[in-house]
Structure 1
């Protein structure tokens, strides 16, 4: 398992898209937002754009790995019969899937840690809420999104369909959830549409914790993410095909 994780990790590093969008982009957006409007009030809210962007950008790595990393890799392995071949090796297909999740988690965590370090050390960010609650909320959002990523991998028959579905899911999640573009800048109508996206709820939960004030309905969001996790992993396990 450890050796397999090392191999998959090296393969992930060779994918410039994952590193660029999962790690590089949130740092770039953070610095750009800070230079343009970091200390300005975020719309009618009583917090700044830096306060808003900090918690939002933590999920960019999750979004990239959940909706472009895990499902595309698994579907590509299914197309190439790699999953089928794992049946005759000491490492089972289940090990391969677990490894993909571990590699995705490591990538997302590196992204979040870099955003936090740059914000605190270089941008003088000071969180009003609890770091412990933020970390717990972060992992809740992560497992909920990964359950959806595995569900996509289970439903898509081949890599072509997976590419289409992942693109249709990834880009709205990334740009409409408030992860990259501050949610406060959206018109009211667009905000109502964006509330349907599960990642939007995740972003609001992280904002609630980091700002130490309710954004949306935190209790409802926690229950929703738990339900998404249970249903997502349950359906993914039931519908998954090895070939």
Structure 2
């Protein structure tokens, strides 16, 4: 029987790595994206060497009703990977209301409502996994990323609360908190900034998207059968 996973933000660096890893493990995938259609086309080509079914779904999860477009295209589901996101750099005093609402909708409201709509499908099976890709800043906070840290922290609370609500139904809920990962989101920093950042990280280098995908792979597997409500940091020792 086919296993289906939804990966939001599949067009990004971490999303792509998660999709390729899950496809290798036999999952069919719902590939969510918003604007980067070219990246999804390329990902579909990469996935063509595997045997699953791969379904692209376009939806703006920063829009209040964007989640509806996503969930109405999902039928069978075994795992939900909430990976879609955006960052905002700058002082809190410069944050516009619209930017704050966009961050909250993308990182908190949409994932919560997507889960609400799809949860009955998991409850019917009495099995499944929900994984939230949060951030190191959700754990410790960052100056000039106050709003981003806030919504990422909310994701951690979502994981901990929901895991208790659905544990007896056979559904596990966990989070992953990446540190500095070499993805397009890091292009706001120049090489000098990256070198300075590397010096702060005990392991001496940025992580890769595959580092995150490996943890997701573990969490959806039976090897993690007794793990729920946990936040797994993947940050090279940067924050412990």
Which bracket does the TM-score occupy, shorter chain normalised?
0.3 to 0.5
Higher helix share: 1
More strand, by proportion: 2
TM-score normalised by L of structure 1: 0.34
**Bigger relative contact order (CA 8 A; separation at least 6):** 1
Relative to the length of structure 2, the TM-score reads 0.34
